[in-house]
Structure 1
Amino acid sequence: MKTKITEMLGIEYPIIQGGMAWVAEHHLAAAVSEAGGLGLIGGANAPGEVVREEIRKARELTKKPFGVNVMLMSPYADDVAKVVVEEGIKVVTTGAGIPGKYMGMWKEAGIKVIPVVASVAQARLMEKSGADAVVAEGMESGGHIGEATTMTLVPQVVDAVSIPVIAAGGIADGRGIAAAFMLGAEAVQMGTRFVVSKESIVSQAYKDRVIKAKDIDSTVTGMSHGHPIRCLRNKMTREYLKLEKEGRPFEELEYLTLGTLRKAVMEGDVDNGTVMAGQIAGMVKKEQTCKEMIEEMMAQAEALLGRK
């Protein structure tokens, strides 16, 4: 399927894998790219040299294009911004901030810059600062979220900017992809579905928790202090929401969550860890390879869009 995004990024299918912290490492990124989508290595809070190593390991697994997600609030953002240039990465997505200070360096290196946005105002600002496209991410998604839903955000962003828009949040099958195209998107970004892929390195307990999730199993913590995060309900979220309701200070709540994503992803503690997943988790029912997922979703989307 050809779209402005597949042509811009040199990929076969208009599917981008989210740059999820602790999850989006070289195995997953390479597998998604090999299957015809765009895999991303999640920079998260990792030092530049760790990201460099991940890039080089991914290159051993695929010759196809893949990108890096640069988390702009990371203390290592400056280093990671340089590493992507030095390693010849051609696509960068960004989160948690405005990539303006790196834009000149990235553009000079021929990098396509695609920020994740949660509002029309952010999308316009990113276009003005030189972004090649934007990911309009609705609050259905896992992890850090905004306030608008995908259904309302995507068409408004499409109308507001002239650069291509990628839809994210609540998309996990061909119906979601087809719907995104109807809203004016040129591609989709997905995280939760790829979390349970066979190539994903997350603990089996994390995968099983996502697969067993029901439609009402996600919750949002941190709404009261302006740092909302969507994850699946467990012992940790119950404690967090109780303390949040009591009006406990942000620092105390933040301390409660320190290291909990790693605890769930790497150690399999899905009771006390943070199990980040989108509302669509209730529809994710099985482990598959990235290739099986992408081919299944694209066949369904193409049939719905009348392209087959």
Structure 2
Amino acid sequence: MKTAVTELLGIEYPIIQGGMAWVGEYHLAAAVSEAGGLGIIGAASAPADIVRQQVREARKLTSRPIGVNVMLLNPNADGVAEVIVEEGVEVVTTGAGSPAKYMDMWKAAGVKVIPVVASVAMAKMMERSGADAVVAEGMESGGHIGSATTMTLVPQVADAVNIPVIAAGGIADGRGFAAAFMLGAQAVQMGTRFVAASESIAHDNYKQKVIKARDIDSEITGMSTGHPIRQIRNKMTREYLKLEKEGASFEELEYLTLGSLRKAVMEGDVVNGTLMAGQCAGMVSRVQSCREIIEEIIHDGSVLLKI
């Protein structure tokens, strides 16, 4: 299935895996790429040497393009940005800021740069900075979110920029895939569906919480801090929201969630851990391989798009 994004990135299908912290490591990224999509290693707050190791391990599992997601607030971002060039990573996605300071270095090395944006203004700014495409991510997504929905954000970004737009937020099946293209996107980015992939290292407790989630089971914490996060509700989210309502300080709230994502992903603590997942978790019904997920979405989406 050829689109502007598959041509840009040299991939078979216009499906990109979200660069999820802890979940988006080399096993998952390589499996998505090998299945014809674009797998993304989530650098999160990892040191540069860890990211280098992740890239090299992914290379052992696939010869197809892979990407790295750089959280620009990461104190190790400078080193990670250099590793991307040194290791010949084909694609970088970015979040939590502007990648302008790295743009010349990445572009000189032939890296395709795709910032994740939550507004039209940011999309236009990224285009001016030299971005090759943008991910327009609606607030239905898991993890850190903006304030606009996918349904409203994607078409407005598509109208505002001349570079390809990748839709993200609430997309988990062929219907969402087809809808994204009708809104003006040239590809989709998915995170929650891949959490439950068989190649995902997420603990089975985490995967089962995603699979059993209903449409109303996600909620947003951190609105008072200006850093809202969507996740599946549990004891930790209830305590967090209670503290927010009582006017707890940023430090108190941060302490409550310290290491909580790792606890959920690696240890399976679904009571006190952070279970980042989008509203589409209610559409994820079983564990499947990355290849099965991608082929199912492409088949169902193509039927709806009549292509």
Fold similarity call, TM over 0.5: yes
1:4 & 1:148 partners in 2: Cα distance? 25
Query: Match for residue 194 of structure 1?
Result: 194
TM-score, normalised with respect to structure 2 = 1.00
One-letter amino acid of the structure 1 residue matched with residue 273 of structure 2: G
Residues 56-94 of structure 1 show CA distances to partners (whole Å, capped at 9, x for unaligned) of 000000001111101100010000000000001111000
- Unmatched runs of 5 consecutive residues or more in structure 2: none
1:36 is paired with a residue whose SS is: coil
Residues 185-228 of structure 1 show CA distances to partners (whole Å, capped at 9, x for unaligned) of 00000000000000000100000000000100000000112110
One-letter amino acid of the structure 2 residue matched with residue 214 of structure 1: R
2:284 & 2:241 partners in 1: Cα distance? 26
Alignment of 1:35-114 (within 5 A): 35-114=35-114
- Unmatched runs of 5 consecutive residues or more in structure 1: none
What is the CA distance between 1:160 and its match in structure 2? 0.6
2:70 is paired with a residue whose SS is: strand
2:185 & 2:300 partners in 1: Cα distance? 17
2:140 & 2:255 partners in 1: Cα distance? 25
Query: Match for residue 162 of structure 1?
Result: 162
One-letter amino acid of the structure 2 residue matched with residue 130 of structure 1: G
One-letter amino acid of the structure 2 residue matched with residue 265 of structure 1: V
1:30 & 1:102 partners in 2: Cα distance? 25
Query: Match for residue 24 of structure 2?
Result: 24
1:181 & 1:115 partners in 2: Cα distance? 19
2:283 & 2:93 partners in 1: Cα distance? 26
One-letter amino acid of the structure 1 residue matched with residue 148 of structure 2: A
What is the CA distance between 1:233 and its match in structure 2? 0.3
1:177 & 1:211 partners in 2: Cα distance? 19
What is the CA distance between 1:139 and its match in structure 2? 0.2
Q: Percent identity?
A: 75
2:288 is paired with a residue whose SS is: coil
What is the CA distance between 1:293 and its match in structure 2? 0.6
Query: Match for residue 151 of structure 2?
Result: 151
What is the CA distance between 1:36 and its match in structure 2? 0.4
2:267 is paired with a residue whose SS is: coil
How many residues in Structure 1 have an aligned counterpart in Structure 2?
Answer: 307
One-letter amino acid of the structure 1 residue matched with residue 213 of structure 2: A
Query: Match for residue 181 of structure 1?
Result: 181
One-letter amino acid of the structure 2 residue matched with residue 290 of structure 1: C
One-letter amino acid of the structure 2 residue matched with residue 293 of structure 1: I
2:92 is paired with a residue whose SS is: strand
What is the CA distance between 1:234 and its match in structure 2? 0.2
TM-score, normalised with respect to structure 1 = 0.99
One-letter amino acid of the structure 1 residue matched with residue 61 of structure 2: L
1:305 & 1:100 partners in 2: Cα distance? 36
1:58 is paired with a residue whose SS is: helix
Residues 110-167 of structure 1 show CA distances to partners (whole Å, capped at 9, x for unaligned) of 1110000000010011001110000000000000000000000000000111100000
**Regions of 4+ moved over 4 Å:** none
1:231 is paired with a residue whose SS is: strand
